[in-house]
Structure 1
Amino acid sequence: MTVRNPDDDNPNADRRATLEQLVRWRRDVRRFKRDAVPDALVERLLRLADLAPSVGNSQPWRIVNVQSPELRTGVEESFEAARTRAGGGYNGEQADLYFRLKLAGLDAAPVHLAIFCDHGVLQGHGLGRHTMPETLDYSCACMVTVLWLAAREAGLGLGWVSIVDPAEVAKMLGAPPDWRLVGYLLLGWPEEEHLDPELERHGWQPRTDFETRYFTAGAAPLLNEAKGTRPAEATRRGSVTLVGAGPGDPELLTLKALYALQAADAVLFDDLVAKPILDLVRPGARLIDVGKRGYRKSCKQPDINAQMVSLAREGLNVVRLKSGDPLIFGRAGEEIAACEEAGIAISVVPGVTSAQGAAANLKVSLTNRDHARRLQFITAHDRHGTLPKDIDWSAVADSAATTVIYMPKRTLAELAEIALVHGLDPKTPAIAVANATRPDERVFVSTIGAIAAALDAAHPEGPVLVMLGEALRYATARDAAKQAEDIAAAHGVLPEQS
């Protein structure tokens, strides 16, 4: 979800986000890196926030950059005292949770900004304030919101600290009597990114349905006084559908998957989903990139789960679009469990997995009855990015099995070495396929003893899988013959005919 302005020194950002993504990740940040934020970037963001709307064009906000270590320490002491006092209002488990929560990042955030509302401001000539004087404070909140979004667009996080004594902080900073503290803001590079608020993630308060805050005047009483909420029948629930996008060729998409994409209100898609498939999504639907990129900065699974649930609670039909088949190394189980726990209806549309697409292009049977009595899919990549420790090596070494290895790029050499120790013949045919079924598909024909070196030398981009087993020997021979023909044709020499 991080974005980058080309003029900003942001080591974390790699793409530009939509306004919706910025709004969704405008979360209150409490965990900051200590890396400095360039002064020029801070000034640019503040000047942008200063363009925020205000009642009567009053611009009542007053921004104080708190750089003094002594003043920062004083604010932190005010926070700790106010936090302790507020904690006395909770009991039992809620009190325990309150004191475990991280409620501020005062110790690490590189930029501290005290935001005041000047209630003695003469700008705007009082327009709009005769009837609603509190709109001065609301105007300051608008400015903070603009700053929040601008910071997020630059890859920064912002925290709004309200657990301080406002009069104490105002006196500490030497603010005039007419200035009222609106909030103490923290700005910096976030340690990690989440799509759900920290308070929700740690069980303080889940996000409630949109319908509990949306009313139509005149249709019915605005509030059900007995329950303090809108009538339950007014709440509209959405749903989630896990959809397999297949390995890349859009013509391998199932009809049911196509119907789901054309009925979706929001689509959360993986980084590996081919663009031609995204082009099939209903016009007007929200497209949200939640790709998990191996060994690179990416969305975390709990955040994806939270966003699916949040969108469905808004009453939307949500599609979670995954490359291949969602039920094969697609972490579908975690997403199904998250929806069921939240009471969100969920369904699954299977897809063609990459092993099937790759084998089809090679025109090889993975279950050739003369050579394979078993077909097995394994992953070479656990949740920590390392080779799983619980692989059944005797099964991998079985000469009568065809094995398809998913996500093998980093660990293939280690996997092959261990399999050979457990008895796998080093001459067992092995085929690596990168970007299976896509226009840039690449095929590497080798043996299990040499395939890792071949891949390492070629360093193909995109997803890779490796198939190994005696059933592939026919594909090996046929592909080798075709390669010889292609080389001969490229040099204007026809191969010898037998």
Structure 2
Amino acid sequence: MTSRSPTDGTAGQPASLEQLVRWRRDVRRFKPDPVADDLIERLLRLADLAPSVGNSQPWRILNVKDGAARLAVARQFERERSRTVSGYEGDQATLYNKLKLAGFDAAPVHLAIFCDHDSAQGHGLGQQTMPETLDHSCACMVTVLWLAAREAGLGLGWVSIVEPAAIAETLGVSKSWKLIGYILLGWPEEEHLDPELERYGWQPRTPFEGRYRELGKVEDTSAPSKDAPRSQSGGSVTLVGAGPGDPELLTLKALRALQTADVVLYDNLVARPILDYVRLGAKLIDVGKRGYRKSCKQPDIDRQLVSFAREGLKVVRLKSGDPLIFGRAGEEIAACRAAGVPLSVVPGVTSAQGAAANLKVALTNRDHARRLQFITAHDRHGTLPADIDWSAVADPAATTVVYMPKRTLAELTDIATAHGLDPKTPAIAVANATRADEQAIISTVGMVAAELGSAHPEGPVLVMIGEALRHATPLDVVEQTAALFSTVGAAPVES
């Protein structure tokens, strides 16, 4: 996840307190890159300014650089983790074993935070009635450190699955020092606005209203029951179509949504220049689904949309093309509705429209194509869908636009011709439609798969098929194709 904020040097304005609080998440996945000692000292000196009961400053910070001591703490954590799992059963125990609950393996900085209960600082002010406020003061210090680290781009993990006395003994500290937490600091390998425990299904956040009460307030009996789904005031989700790539194809409504968003979850296919239109300070989260590679799962995306909206954030789900065409928008709409999250949809220029317009190719023709149909060339398993209506694809009076056909185009054209589609029917493959690196291949149904394979373009591809293309006289396509094939050493196929 990236952020258009000072945490990664992309903006000149300081992060707001609200942004720092929202970005503060327990980090368990760190890069092994070192953190400069002077940066750690600056953050610790800032944290040392934290408030404390009676100005007691009871925290004691031990920077654990010794490798043997770090290993001993990590082993103690694993023992406690193994013991803790016995308290869970069934699916919860299985999930607990899968959770990553610490980052000992990569975090470059280890800090043990203790509370000194024998300190004379503060003369005991405020501690006679509530001695636990010494521990609370140390927690305040850690929170300040957490926010300071976040502002510097660092991640912090607060490890609590350890036995305090055992850690104190391992590190050889005074018997009056009580462990508050073992802190891991480093550059985060990945960043998220939602807690990892929520992201992996351990426990979702609940609405603020469930933790707030007013003494003496008369209850409103007309209010919805506590079991009724609702979102926190102000939170919402907007599905936005980014168009095929040219930022100038964004609608005014899409631009307004991007410039008022608190967080934007964007697909891998969204052109990067479009992200420049997102409001400075908004959080950018890459949730792209990358074909045949590790990528974000749809249920995880659904949970993040709902979670952010419940926190009162304006959430934009940014999708390439139009969100309602092969974008799995239906699942996200259903998730928001089930959670009671306000939802709106901003349509976008779909890739077929952008490709045809840029190449000046008409997709319909009153004499040759009275129907336009969009199909996808792969199913949820990455294979050619089994339920394609091949008679419709073979219909000479239709123009067919095939989305996501890179791996299955040869199979698709073979089956289509077997069902009666003339192999000499015009076909145009377009990669990166409307973008600066757009590539077009003008061909026929019988040859387009082989020619696309030879060109091997990067980025999203679609294929347009139909007699309407023959009568469009796509001069621009011919010129672009000639330029493309001059670089790959092949000649364009005349249609």
Match of 2:486 in 1: none
Tell me: CA distance 1:323–1:21, structure 2 relative to 1, closer, same or farther (3 Å): farther
- 1:87, 1:99 within 8 Å by CA — same for their partners in 2? no
Work out which of the residue numbers 27, 46, 51 in structure 1 matches 2:46.
51
1:292 aligns with 2:288: yes
Give the Å deviation of 1:326.
0.7
Identity of aligned residues (%): 55
Cα distance in 2 for residues equivalent to 1:407 and 1:21: 37
d(CA) in 2 for partners of 1:374 and 1:429? 16
Q: Could you tell me the TM-score, scaled by structure 1's length?
A: 0.70
Shift of 1:405: 2.9
What's the CA shift string for 1:402-431, capped at 9, x where partnerless?
Answer: 3323345xx35x523652476365544332
Contact 1:58–1:122 (Cα < 8 Å) also in 2 = no
Offset at residue 57 of structure 1 (A): 9.2
Tell me: CA distance 1:27–1:345, structure 2 relative to 1, closer, same or farther (3 Å): same
Contact 1:170 1:181 in 2 (8 A): yes
The 3 A distance-change label for structure 1 pair 389 and 189 is farther
* Structure 2 residue corresponding to 1:178, chosen from 176, 179, 194: 176
Query: C-alpha separation between the residues in 2 aligned to 1:98 and 1:454?
Result: 44
Where does residue 243 of structure 2 map in the other structure?
246
Equivalences for 1:356-395 in 2 at 5 Å? Answer: 356-372=353-369, 374-380=371-377, 386-388=382-384, 390=386, 392=388, 394=390
Matched residue, 2:165 = 167
CA 1:76 to 1:332, structure 2 compared with 1: closer, same or farther past 3 Å? same
**1:353 aligned to 2:350?**
yes
Task: Tell me if 1:60 matches 2:59.
Answer: yes
Determine the C-alpha separation between the residues in 2 that align with 1:284 and 1:70.
43
Rounded Cα–Cα distance in structure 2 between residues aligned with 1:475 and 1:337: 41
Residue identity in the other structure for 1:166:
P
Q: In 2 relative to 1, CA 62–246 (structure 1 residues): closer, same or farther, beyond 3 Å?
A: same
Q: Say if 1:157 and 1:189, in contact at 8 Å, map to a contact too.
A: yes
Matched, 1:416 2:414: no
1:76 aligns to 2:75 (yes or no): yes
Amino acid at match of 1:48: L
Contact 2:262 2:282 in 1 (8 A): yes
Q: 1:456 to 1:207 in 2, by over 3 A?
A: farther
Report matched runs for 1:58-457 at 5 Å. Answer: 58=57, 60-65=59-64, 67-69=66-68, 72-73=71-72, 76-77=75-76, 80-81=79-80, 84=83, 88=87, 96=93, 100=97, 102=99, 104-105=101-102, 108-109=105-106, 112-120=110-118, 136-145=134-143, 148=146, 158-186=156-184, 195-213=193-211, 220=217, 236=233, 238-248=235-245, 252-253=249-250, 257=254, 267-270=264-267, 272=270, 279=277, 286=282, 288-290=284-286, 292=288, 294=290, 301-372=298-369, 374-380=371-377, 386-388=382-384, 390=386, 392=388, 394=390, 398=394, 400=396, 401-408=398-405, 411=406, 415-416=409-410, 419-420=413-414, 423=417, 427-437=424-434, 440=436, 442-448=438-444, 449-450=447-448, 453=451, 457=455
Preserved CA contact (<8 Å) 2:354 2:433: yes
Q: Secondary structure at the match of 1:324?
A: coil
Paired with 1:234 and 1:105, the residues of 2 have a C-alpha distance of 31
Distance change in 2, residues 1:355/1:117 (3 Å)? same
Q: Which amino acid in the other structure matches residue 313 of structure 1?
A: R
In structure 2, C-alpha distance between the alignment counterparts of 1:23 and 1:382, rounded to whole Å: 40
Letter in 1 for 2:410: A
How many residue pairs match? The answer is: 461
Map 1:455-466 to 2 at 5 A: 457=455, 459=457, 463-466=460-463
C-alpha contact (below 8 Å) 1:118/1:178 kept by paired residues: yes
1:211 and 1:354 map into 2 onto residues whose CA distance is 43
Cα distance in 1 for residues equivalent to 2:260 and 2:182: 44
Structure 2 residue matching 1:465: 3-state secondary structure: strand
CA distance in 2, matches of 1:323, 1:253: 11
Structure 1 residues 157-202: Cα deviation after superposition (integer angstroms, max 9, x where no partner): 5432213221222122211123210112345677766543333244
Q: Which runs of 5+ in 2 are unaligned?
A: 484-495
Q: CA deviation at 1:48?
A: 2.7
SS of 2:46's equivalent?
Answer: coil
Write the distance in 1 (CA, Å) between the matches of 2:81 and 2:410.
Answer: 59
Task: Give the CA deviation at 1:342.
Answer: 1.9
Cα distance between partner residues in 2 of 1:394 and 1:72: 62
Q: Which runs of 5+ in 1 are unaligned?
A: 7-12, 487-498
Q: Return closer, same or farther for 1:481/1:381 CA change in 2, 3 Å cut-off.
A: closer
User: RMSD of aligned C-alpha atoms?
Assistant: 5.2
1:60 partner letter? W
User: Does 2:469 align with 1:472?
Assistant: yes
